[in-house]
Structure 1
Amino acid sequence: MFHVFPLLGQSNMAVYPKASNADKTENPRIKVLGFDDCAWTGRVEGPWDIAAPPLHECWNGAIGPGDCFAKTIIDRYPAQNSAGLVPSAISRERVETSMKAGGAKYS
Protein backbone atom coordinates (compact mmCIF):
# COMPACT_ATOMS: atom_id res chain seq x y z
CA MET A 1 0.00 0.00 0.00
CA PHE A 2 1.17 3.49 -0.84
CA HIS A 3 0.28 6.10 1.82
CA VAL A 4 0.30 9.72 0.61
CA PHE A 5 0.84 12.67 2.94
CA PRO A 6 0.52 16.30 1.78
CA LEU A 7 3.00 18.60 3.52
CA LEU A 8 0.98 21.80 3.59
CA GLY A 9 2.14 25.00 5.18
CA GLN A 10 4.33 28.00 4.82
CA SER A 11 7.95 28.53 5.81
CA ASN A 12 7.31 26.57 9.02
CA MET A 13 6.90 23.42 6.90
CA ALA A 14 9.77 24.17 4.50
CA VAL A 15 11.91 25.55 7.37
CA TYR A 16 15.51 26.70 7.34
CA PRO A 17 17.77 24.50 9.50
CA LYS A 18 20.35 23.03 7.15
CA ALA A 19 20.19 19.25 6.72
CA SER A 20 23.23 17.39 8.02
CA ASN A 21 24.69 14.34 6.29
CA ALA A 22 22.90 12.09 8.80
CA ASP A 23 19.58 13.72 7.82
CA LYS A 24 20.15 12.79 4.18
CA THR A 25 20.00 9.02 4.78
CA GLU A 26 17.58 7.66 2.18
CA ASN A 27 14.93 5.01 2.67
CA PRO A 28 13.60 3.63 -0.65
CA ARG A 29 10.19 3.15 1.00
CA ILE A 30 9.83 6.94 1.41
CA LYS A 31 9.15 8.85 -1.81
CA VAL A 32 8.74 12.53 -2.51
CA LEU A 33 6.86 14.15 -5.36
CA GLY A 34 9.15 16.56 -7.20
CA PHE A 35 8.39 20.08 -5.90
CA ASP A 36 10.65 21.95 -8.30
CA ASP A 37 13.57 21.37 -10.63
CA CYS A 38 16.57 21.06 -8.36
CA ALA A 39 20.06 20.53 -9.76
CA TRP A 40 21.38 20.02 -6.21
CA THR A 41 19.17 16.93 -5.55
CA GLY A 42 18.67 15.90 -9.18
CA ARG A 43 14.88 15.96 -8.75
CA VAL A 44 12.54 17.48 -11.27
CA GLU A 45 9.03 18.82 -10.76
CA GLY A 46 6.42 16.09 -11.08
CA PRO A 47 7.76 12.53 -10.77
CA TRP A 48 8.23 10.54 -7.55
CA ASP A 49 11.77 10.10 -6.25
CA ILE A 50 13.38 8.73 -3.09
CA ALA A 51 12.96 11.33 -0.37
CA ALA A 52 15.89 13.22 1.13
CA PRO A 53 16.10 16.84 2.28
CA PRO A 54 15.31 19.35 1.05
CA LEU A 55 11.74 18.32 0.25
CA HIS A 56 10.68 21.92 -0.43
CA GLU A 57 12.48 24.85 -2.03
CA CYS A 58 15.73 23.48 -3.38
CA TRP A 59 17.77 26.61 -2.71
CA ASN A 60 17.84 26.35 1.08
CA GLY A 61 19.00 22.74 1.66
CA ALA A 62 16.81 22.54 4.75
CA ILE A 63 15.26 19.71 6.73
CA GLY A 64 11.67 20.09 7.87
CA PRO A 65 9.05 18.20 9.86
CA GLY A 66 8.03 16.12 6.84
CA ASP A 67 11.41 14.38 6.84
CA CYS A 68 11.21 13.31 10.47
CA PHE A 69 7.53 12.41 10.19
CA ALA A 70 8.15 10.06 7.27
CA LYS A 71 11.14 8.35 8.89
CA THR A 72 9.02 7.75 12.00
CA ILE A 73 5.77 6.65 10.36
CA ILE A 74 7.32 4.24 7.85
CA ASP A 75 8.43 1.88 10.63
CA ARG A 76 4.82 1.58 11.76
CA TYR A 77 3.72 0.12 8.41
CA PRO A 78 4.31 -3.39 7.07
CA ALA A 79 7.55 -3.79 5.10
CA GLN A 80 5.74 -3.88 1.74
CA ASN A 81 4.12 -0.47 2.37
CA SER A 82 5.64 2.84 1.34
CA ALA A 83 4.95 6.51 1.98
CA GLY A 84 4.70 9.38 -0.47
CA LEU A 85 5.31 12.97 0.59
CA VAL A 86 3.76 15.80 -1.41
CA PRO A 87 5.63 19.03 -0.62
CA SER A 88 3.29 21.98 -0.76
CA ALA A 89 4.88 24.53 1.57
CA ILE A 90 5.00 27.95 0.02
CA SER A 91 6.83 30.63 2.00
CA ARG A 92 4.92 33.86 2.57
CA GLU A 93 1.71 32.30 1.16
CA ARG A 94 -1.62 32.41 2.97
CA VAL A 95 -2.80 29.07 4.37
CA GLU A 96 -6.14 29.63 2.61
CA THR A 97 -4.30 29.12 -0.69
CA SER A 98 -4.30 25.36 -0.06
CA MET A 99 -7.88 25.06 1.17
CA LYS A 100 -10.19 22.75 -0.76
CA ALA A 101 -12.96 25.36 -0.96
CA GLY A 102 -11.64 28.28 -2.96
CA GLY A 103 -7.91 27.71 -2.59
CA ALA A 104 -5.91 28.90 -5.59
CA LYS A 105 -3.35 26.09 -5.31
CA TYR A 106 -5.57 23.20 -4.13
CA SER A 107 -5.21 20.22 -6.45
Structure 2
Amino acid sequence: MLLTASFVVTGRSEEVDLPAKDKFHLFLLVGQSNMAGRGKVTPDDKVANPKVLMLNQQGKWVPAVDPMHFDKPKMVGVGLGRTFGLEVSKSNPDITIGLIPCAVGGSPIKSWEPGAWDAPTKTHPYDDAMKRAHQALQSGKLVGILWHQGESDSGPGKAEIYDQKLQELIARFRNELDADDVPFIIGQLGQFEESPWNESKKQVDLAHQNIAKMDGHVVFVQSDGLTHKGDKVHFNAESYREFGKRYAKAYLELTNKSSAK
Protein backbone atom coordinates (compact mmCIF):
# COMPACT_ATOMS: atom_id res chain seq x y z
CA MET A 1 0.00 0.00 0.00
CA LEU A 2 1.33 3.43 -0.90
CA LEU A 3 1.35 6.19 1.68
CA THR A 4 1.10 9.79 0.54
CA ALA A 5 3.11 12.66 1.96
CA SER A 6 2.66 16.30 1.03
CA PHE A 7 5.46 18.74 0.34
CA VAL A 8 6.11 22.03 -1.36
CA VAL A 9 8.71 22.60 -4.06
CA THR A 10 9.28 26.09 -5.54
CA GLY A 11 6.01 27.29 -4.12
CA ARG A 12 3.87 24.49 -5.62
CA SER A 13 1.97 21.91 -3.58
CA GLU A 14 2.94 18.43 -4.73
CA GLU A 15 2.49 14.84 -3.69
CA VAL A 16 5.03 12.07 -3.21
CA ASP A 17 4.03 8.46 -2.76
CA LEU A 18 5.89 6.59 -0.04
CA PRO A 19 6.40 2.90 -0.75
CA ALA A 20 5.58 0.02 1.55
CA LYS A 21 7.61 0.18 4.75
CA ASP A 22 9.96 -2.66 3.79
CA LYS A 23 10.76 -0.93 0.48
CA PHE A 24 11.61 2.40 2.11
CA HIS A 25 15.27 2.15 3.15
CA LEU A 26 16.34 4.79 5.65
CA PHE A 27 19.79 6.21 6.37
CA LEU A 28 20.66 8.41 9.35
CA LEU A 29 23.17 11.19 8.54
CA VAL A 30 25.03 12.28 11.68
CA GLY A 31 28.22 14.10 12.67
CA GLN A 32 29.41 17.65 12.20
CA SER A 33 29.78 20.13 9.34
CA ASN A 34 31.45 17.85 6.80
CA MET A 35 28.43 15.57 7.05
CA ALA A 36 26.03 18.50 6.91
CA GLY A 37 27.83 19.84 3.83
CA ARG A 38 29.29 23.22 3.05
CA GLY A 39 29.78 22.94 -0.73
CA LYS A 40 28.48 25.39 -3.33
CA VAL A 41 25.02 24.46 -4.58
CA THR A 42 24.33 24.32 -8.32
CA PRO A 43 21.02 23.86 -10.19
CA ASP A 44 21.84 20.16 -10.70
CA ASP A 45 21.93 19.69 -6.93
CA LYS A 46 18.28 20.70 -6.78
CA VAL A 47 16.99 18.18 -9.32
CA ALA A 48 14.43 15.95 -7.61
CA ASN A 49 14.52 12.17 -7.89
CA PRO A 50 11.33 10.39 -6.76
CA LYS A 51 13.39 7.47 -5.49
CA VAL A 52 15.55 9.56 -3.12
CA LEU A 53 13.76 11.48 -0.38
CA MET A 54 14.78 13.29 2.79
CA LEU A 55 13.07 14.17 6.05
CA ASN A 56 13.06 17.95 6.10
CA GLN A 57 13.29 20.21 9.14
CA GLN A 58 9.52 20.13 9.55
CA GLY A 59 9.48 16.33 9.59
CA LYS A 60 8.00 15.93 6.10
CA TRP A 61 9.27 13.61 3.38
CA VAL A 62 10.41 15.70 0.41
CA PRO A 63 12.79 15.17 -2.54
CA ALA A 64 16.42 15.01 -1.43
CA VAL A 65 17.90 18.21 -2.83
CA ASP A 66 20.76 20.30 -1.51
CA PRO A 67 21.14 21.83 0.93
CA MET A 68 19.74 18.92 2.91
CA HIS A 69 20.79 20.00 6.38
CA PHE A 70 19.61 22.98 8.43
CA ASP A 71 22.04 23.14 11.35
CA LYS A 72 23.49 26.49 10.27
CA PRO A 73 21.18 27.89 7.55
CA LYS A 74 23.61 30.57 6.35
CA MET A 75 26.40 28.03 5.84
CA VAL A 76 24.80 24.79 4.68
CA GLY A 77 25.35 23.57 1.14
CA VAL A 78 26.19 20.48 -0.88
CA GLY A 79 27.12 17.48 1.22
CA LEU A 80 27.72 13.80 0.59
CA GLY A 81 24.23 12.58 1.49
CA ARG A 82 22.33 13.25 -1.72
CA THR A 83 24.96 11.60 -3.94
CA PHE A 84 25.07 8.66 -1.55
CA GLY A 85 21.31 8.24 -1.87
CA LEU A 86 21.37 8.45 -5.65
CA GLU A 87 24.14 5.86 -5.91
CA VAL A 88 22.46 3.38 -3.57
CA SER A 89 19.17 3.88 -5.40
CA LYS A 90 20.81 2.89 -8.68
CA SER A 91 21.79 -0.45 -7.19
CA ASN A 92 18.19 -1.45 -6.48
CA PRO A 93 15.35 0.13 -8.48
CA ASP A 94 12.77 -1.62 -6.31
CA ILE A 95 13.50 0.51 -3.23
CA THR A 96 13.13 4.15 -2.27
CA ILE A 97 15.86 5.84 -0.25
CA GLY A 98 14.97 7.99 2.75
CA LEU A 99 17.72 10.24 4.12
CA ILE A 100 17.45 11.64 7.65
CA PRO A 101 19.73 14.72 7.95
CA CYS A 102 20.79 15.28 11.58
CA ALA A 103 24.39 16.56 11.48
CA VAL A 104 25.37 19.62 13.52
CA GLY A 105 28.32 21.73 12.45
CA GLY A 106 31.07 22.12 15.05
CA SER A 107 29.66 19.46 17.37
CA PRO A 108 32.21 17.49 19.40
CA ILE A 109 31.44 13.85 20.11
CA LYS A 110 30.33 14.72 23.66
CA SER A 111 27.40 16.57 22.04
CA TRP A 112 26.19 13.19 20.77
CA GLU A 113 25.15 11.96 24.19
CA PRO A 114 21.65 11.97 25.67
CA GLY A 115 20.74 15.38 27.04
CA ALA A 116 23.87 17.09 25.67
CA TRP A 117 23.42 20.70 24.55
CA ASP A 118 25.17 22.38 21.61
CA ALA A 119 25.20 26.06 22.49
CA PRO A 120 26.18 27.53 19.07
CA THR A 121 23.19 25.92 17.32
CA LYS A 122 20.93 25.81 20.38
CA THR A 123 20.20 22.14 19.74
CA HIS A 124 20.48 18.77 21.44
CA PRO A 125 22.27 16.83 18.65
CA TYR A 126 21.69 13.31 19.96
CA ASP A 127 18.19 13.84 21.31
CA ASP A 128 17.07 15.70 18.19
CA ALA A 129 18.51 12.99 15.93
CA MET A 130 16.74 10.24 17.86
CA LYS A 131 13.44 12.09 17.70
CA ARG A 132 13.76 12.48 13.92
CA ALA A 133 14.91 8.89 13.48
CA HIS A 134 11.97 7.46 15.39
CA GLN A 135 9.61 9.64 13.39
CA ALA A 136 11.16 8.40 10.14
CA LEU A 137 10.95 4.77 11.28
CA GLN A 138 7.17 5.02 11.23
CA SER A 139 7.45 5.01 7.43
CA GLY A 140 10.47 2.82 6.66
CA LYS A 141 13.28 0.68 8.01
CA LEU A 142 16.75 1.82 9.04
CA VAL A 143 19.45 0.18 6.93
CA GLY A 144 22.47 2.42 7.52
CA ILE A 145 24.05 5.14 9.66
CA LEU A 146 26.49 7.59 8.04
CA TRP A 147 28.98 9.33 10.34
CA HIS A 148 31.53 12.06 9.65
CA GLN A 149 32.90 13.77 12.72
CA GLY A 150 36.13 14.26 14.63
CA GLU A 151 37.53 17.65 13.69
CA SER A 152 36.20 19.14 16.93
CA ASP A 153 37.87 16.39 18.95
CA SER A 154 41.28 16.68 17.30
CA GLY A 155 42.95 18.35 20.24
CA PRO A 156 44.67 17.51 23.55
CA GLY A 157 42.33 16.16 26.19
CA LYS A 158 39.74 15.09 23.61
CA ALA A 159 41.56 12.86 21.14
CA GLU A 160 42.79 10.55 23.90
CA ILE A 161 39.24 9.54 24.84
CA TYR A 162 37.74 9.66 21.35
CA ASP A 163 38.02 5.93 20.70
CA GLN A 164 36.01 5.09 23.82
CA LYS A 165 33.46 7.84 23.09
CA LEU A 166 32.96 6.57 19.55
CA GLN A 167 32.43 2.98 20.66
CA GLU A 168 29.89 4.17 23.22
CA LEU A 169 28.15 6.29 20.57
CA ILE A 170 27.81 3.39 18.13
CA ALA A 171 26.47 1.13 20.88
CA ARG A 172 24.00 3.83 21.90
CA PHE A 173 22.70 4.30 18.36
CA ARG A 174 22.30 0.56 17.90
CA ASN A 175 20.50 0.10 21.19
CA GLU A 176 18.20 3.10 20.78
CA LEU A 177 17.27 2.25 17.19
CA ASP A 178 17.26 -1.56 17.53
CA ALA A 179 19.98 -1.62 14.89
CA ASP A 180 22.53 -4.20 16.01
CA ASP A 181 23.44 -5.32 12.49
CA VAL A 182 22.91 -2.02 10.67
CA PRO A 183 26.04 -0.81 8.84
CA PHE A 184 27.80 2.18 10.42
CA ILE A 185 29.84 4.05 7.80
CA ILE A 186 32.68 6.30 9.00
CA GLY A 187 34.28 8.84 6.68
CA GLN A 188 37.91 9.84 7.11
CA LEU A 189 38.76 13.41 8.08
CA GLY A 190 40.00 15.70 5.33
CA GLN A 191 43.62 15.25 4.28
CA PHE A 192 44.69 18.65 3.02
CA GLU A 193 48.31 19.52 2.23
CA GLU A 194 47.81 23.07 3.45
CA SER A 195 46.65 21.81 6.84
CA PRO A 196 48.90 18.98 8.07
CA TRP A 197 47.47 16.69 10.73
CA ASN A 198 48.62 17.14 14.30
CA GLU A 199 49.07 14.17 16.64
CA SER A 200 45.53 14.54 17.98
CA LYS A 201 43.96 14.32 14.54
CA LYS A 202 46.07 11.24 13.82
CA GLN A 203 44.73 9.74 17.02
CA VAL A 204 41.12 10.41 15.99
CA ASP A 205 41.82 8.89 12.57
CA LEU A 206 43.30 5.81 14.20
CA ALA A 207 40.17 5.43 16.33
CA HIS A 208 38.02 5.53 13.17
CA GLN A 209 40.13 2.90 11.47
CA ASN A 210 40.49 0.61 14.49
CA ILE A 211 36.78 0.35 15.22
CA ALA A 212 36.15 -0.60 11.59
CA LYS A 213 38.69 -3.40 11.96
CA MET A 214 37.13 -4.65 15.19
CA ASP A 215 33.45 -4.43 14.22
CA GLY A 216 32.20 -6.31 11.18
CA HIS A 217 29.29 -3.88 10.76
CA VAL A 218 31.49 -0.76 10.66
CA VAL A 219 33.23 0.45 7.49
CA PHE A 220 35.91 3.13 7.15
CA VAL A 221 35.87 5.28 4.00
CA GLN A 222 39.09 7.02 2.97
CA SER A 223 39.26 10.67 1.95
CA ASP A 224 42.41 10.35 -0.20
CA GLY A 225 42.55 12.86 -3.03
CA LEU A 226 39.62 14.98 -1.87
CA THR A 227 40.13 18.74 -1.67
CA HIS A 228 38.80 21.61 0.44
CA LYS A 229 36.82 24.61 -0.68
CA GLY A 230 39.51 27.10 0.32
CA ASP A 231 39.07 27.12 4.08
CA LYS A 232 41.28 24.08 4.82
CA VAL A 233 38.40 22.52 6.78
CA HIS A 234 35.45 21.72 4.54
CA PHE A 235 35.47 19.70 1.35
CA ASN A 236 34.40 21.42 -1.86
CA ALA A 237 31.20 20.38 -3.64
CA GLU A 238 32.96 18.09 -6.11
CA SER A 239 34.74 16.28 -3.29
CA TYR A 240 31.51 15.87 -1.31
CA ARG A 241 29.90 14.21 -4.33
CA GLU A 242 32.89 11.89 -4.71
CA PHE A 243 32.79 11.13 -0.99
CA GLY A 244 29.11 10.26 -1.33
CA LYS A 245 30.01 7.74 -4.03
CA ARG A 246 32.68 6.23 -1.79
CA TYR A 247 30.27 5.92 1.13
CA ALA A 248 27.76 4.22 -1.18
CA LYS A 249 30.38 1.82 -2.54
CA ALA A 250 31.43 0.90 1.00
CA TYR A 251 27.83 0.37 2.08
CA LEU A 252 26.96 -1.77 -0.94
CA GLU A 253 30.09 -3.89 -0.62
CA LEU A 254 29.37 -4.52 3.05
CA THR A 255 25.71 -5.44 2.51
CA ASN A 256 26.49 -7.62 -0.51
CA LYS A 257 29.12 -9.46 1.52
CA SER A 258 26.67 -9.98 4.37
CA SER A 259 23.92 -11.27 2.07
CA ALA A 260 26.35 -13.71 0.44
CA LYS A 261 27.07 -15.47 3.74
- TM-score, structure 2 normalization: 0.34
Structure 2 unaligned spans of 5+: 1-22, 117-125, 131-261
User: 1:16-44 deviations in whole A, cap 9, x for unaligned?
Assistant: 11111122221011110013xxxxxxxxx
1:46 — aligned with what? Answer: 59
> Given that residues 27 and 99 in structure 2 are in contact (C-alpha distance below 8 angstroms), is that contact kept between their aligned partners in structure 1?
yes
Runs of at least 5 residues in structure 1 that lack an aligned partner in the other structure: 36-44
Letter in 1 for 2:81: G
Q: Which amino acid aligns with 2:62?
A: D
% same residue: 32
CA deviation after TM superposition for structure 1 residue 103, in Å: 6.2
Higher relative contact order (CA 8 A, sep 6+): 1
Verify: 1:56 aligned to 2:64, yes or no: no
Say whether the 8 Å CA contact 1:18–1:60 is kept in structure 2: no
Name 1:17's counterpart in structure 2: 39
Q: Which amino acid aligns with 1:46?
A: G
Checking the alignment, whether the CA contact within 8 Å between 2:37 and 2:67 is kept in structure 1 is: no
Q: What does 1:57-72 correspond to in 2, within 5 Å? A: 57=70, 58-60=73-75, 62-72=77-87
1:68-83 equivalent positions in 2, closer than 5 A: 68-77=83-92, 79-83=93-97
- Shift in CA distance, 76/87, structure 1 to aligned 2, threshold 3 Å: same
Task: Please tell me whether Structure 1 or Structure 2 has the larger radius of gyration of its CA atoms.
Answer: 2
User: Which SS does the other structure have where 1:59 is aligned?
Assistant: coil
Q: How many residues align?
A: 95
Question: Residue 2 of structure 1 aligns to which amino acid in structure 2?
Answer: F
CA deviations on 1:58-84 (whole Å, 9 max, x unpaired) are: 43351101011111110011x231000
Q: 1:89 aligns with which of 99, 103, 110?
A: 103
Deviating runs (4+, > 4 A) in structure 1?
A: none
Aligned counterparts of 1:97 and 1:61: Cα–Cα separation in 2? 19
Q: Distance in 2 between matches of 1:3 and 1:88?
A: 17
